[in-house]
Amino acid sequence: MSRGRLTARTSAAGVENVLALTYGCARAGTILQMLPSLPFGMEVSPRPRLYLVLWLLAAANAAVVLMVAVLRRRGLSPAGVVVDAALCTVFLVLGTLVVPVQDRVGSWVGWAPGYSVAVVVGMAGLRIATWCVMVTVVTAAYVFFTAEATDFASHSTITGNILTLLVLGCIARIIVRYISRVAADADAARAQVAELARDEEKRRAELTMHDSIAIMHLLTDPTLPAATRAQLCEQAAAEIRRMRAYLRDGPDAPYRSCAGKPGATGDVALLDVLNEGMSGFADLGLEPALDLADGVTVDPATAEAVRGAMAGVLHNVRRHARATMVIVHADAERDRARWIVTIRDNGIGFDTATTTLGTGLGRQVLAELERHALTASIASGPGLGTRITIEGKLRP
């Protein structure tokens, strides 16, 4: 079976298929148990033709149940189960006309009681009210079938057989209901996982396209200085390579440099990550001071998050801050086992209490860094510029 079919079929449908096949095979097995006693049953029956007709009807009914399970991959409908139980009741009642009294208990010549066990088990999927009625009807028919057999079988045997019907019916109902509920929960969990995966893919796509959209927006500005336009074109080329890598390798692709080449499979130097994030922003008057973080490394996933956050902050500065200088400072505090990156601009700033953060600062910086166990904070005020701090733990 193909993987597509496996994922398309729900757990509930699979459970229903298995239960239907199990029940159909059990019914077929009951007929096989009845088969060896058929010749002798016709021989001792007071009405052998009617005995044969009832036997064939029971066999045909079992074949229908099995065919429905195989062809439709499900059990009988509730109406079909009721009809099945009604036929079983008919077999028990008419069985008193064709089965000798001495063969009605403990013999496959009187096959109707054994047949009724399989029928009662098959009622497990009915609603509780319908189930109670049909089990009561079949049990009453069994009592009628064995009522005259007390001279040949003890009351305890007949009572035990009646309890067998009731107990097996209850056990089958409990098991079927429990398995069906587990399957329904599995389908709900699968749907939730799929929804979360779609949300995660949407989030990653937004982060991947955010910088590209910011670049394209600025490139449409006819008043953009030529030097800044040249840097934006360089950044646009890098973003094209990055988006191609995303489309080719998916959201879990390894850390890549701005040139689109895969980075190291192990740890990545924090200084290299910061330098890549600052690439193409010379028009902002960058003043990097990164030497104190020399030797600090991060894992590839964290490296991509920090690079994206750095680029997102600088894009935000370019679009909104009207800054003439941006200071990027990195430090490693060995005694506190952490590294700190601070990005400060001298732009117009904003009121953090009343301003809603957009995709750049809200998702690409704060939320994305938090997902990688990094701490980020924003401090700003009107006319005071903006300071963004990123903190992470030093790796051993």
**Cα atoms in the 13 Å half-sphere on the side-chain side of 104:** 27
Indicate if 273 and 387 belong to the same structural domain.
Answer: yes
Whether the predicted pLDDT of 251 surpasses 60: no
For the chain, the first-to-last Cα distance in angstroms comes to 48
Which helix (H) or strand (E) covers residue 371, if one does? helix 368-371
- What's residue 301's pLDDT? 87
Total structural domains within the chain: 2
**Per the domain annotation, does 36 fall within a domain?**
yes
Q: Which residues contact 77 (CB under 8 A, 6 or more apart)?
A: none
Whether the predicted pLDDT of 357 surpasses 50: yes
**Per the domain annotation, does 235 fall within a domain?**
no
Site of tokens 């229903």: 16
**Per the domain annotation, does 162 fall within a domain?**
yes
Indicate if 179 and 274 belong to the same structural domain.
Answer: no
Residue 383 has phi, psi (to 5 degrees) of 80, 0
Indicate if 151 and 288 belong to the same structural domain.
Answer: no
**Per the domain annotation, does 83 fall within a domain?**
yes
Whether the predicted pLDDT of 312 surpasses 60: yes
> Which has the closest alpha carbon to 96: 159, 157, 54, 139?
54
Measure the CA–CA gap between 381 and 85, rounded to whole angstroms: 79
**Per the domain annotation, does 228 fall within a domain?**
no
Indicate if 39 and 173 belong to the same structural domain.
Answer: yes
Alpha carbon of 286 to those of 59, 210, 258, 295: distances in Å?
88, 22, 18, 22
Lowest mean pLDDT among 1-15, 47-61, 193-207: 1-15
Whether the predicted pLDDT of 234 surpasses 90: no
**pLDDT tens digits for range 157-168:** 889 988 988 999
The residue from 190, 215, 234 where one domain ends is 190
Indicate if 181 and 298 belong to the same structural domain.
Answer: no
Mean pLDDT of the chain: 84
Strand-pair category, 326-333 with 286-289: parallel
Indicate if 293 and 386 belong to the same structural domain.
Answer: yes
Measure the CA–CA gap between 61 and 188, rounded to whole angstroms: 36
Structural domain range at position 326: 264-393
* C-beta atoms surrounding 156 within 10 Å: 8
DSSP reduced 3-state for 76: coil
Counting every residue, how long is the chain?
396
The residue from 157, 190, 223 where one domain ends is 190
Indicate if 172 and 27 belong to the same structural domain.
Answer: yes
Indicate if 175 and 293 belong to the same structural domain.
Answer: no
**pLDDT tens digits for range 222-233:** 777 777 777 777
Indicate if 25 and 174 belong to the same structural domain.
Answer: yes
Indicate if 151 and 272 belong to the same structural domain.
Answer: no
Indicate if 170 and 268 belong to the same structural domain.
Answer: no
CATH classification of the domain holding 343: 3.30.565.10
**Per the domain annotation, does 225 fall within a domain?**
no
Single-letter code of the amino acid located at 204: R
**Per the domain annotation, does 293 fall within a domain?**
yes
Indicate if 54 and 182 belong to the same structural domain.
Answer: yes
- What's residue 339's pLDDT? 94
The residue from 175, 190, 205 where one domain ends is 190
Residue 74 in tokens:
């499900």
**Per the domain annotation, does 245 fall within a domain?**
no
- What's residue 258's pLDDT? 43
**pLDDT tens digits for range 3-28:** 434 344 577 888 888 888 888 888 88
- What's residue 261's pLDDT? 44
Site of tokens 């200088």: 325
DSSP reduced 3-state for 306: helix
Crossing angle of helices 155-219 and 226-249, rounded to 10°? 160
Residue 16 has phi, psi (to 5 degrees) of -60, -40
**pLDDT tens digits for range 111-136:** 999 999 999 998 888 899 999 999 99
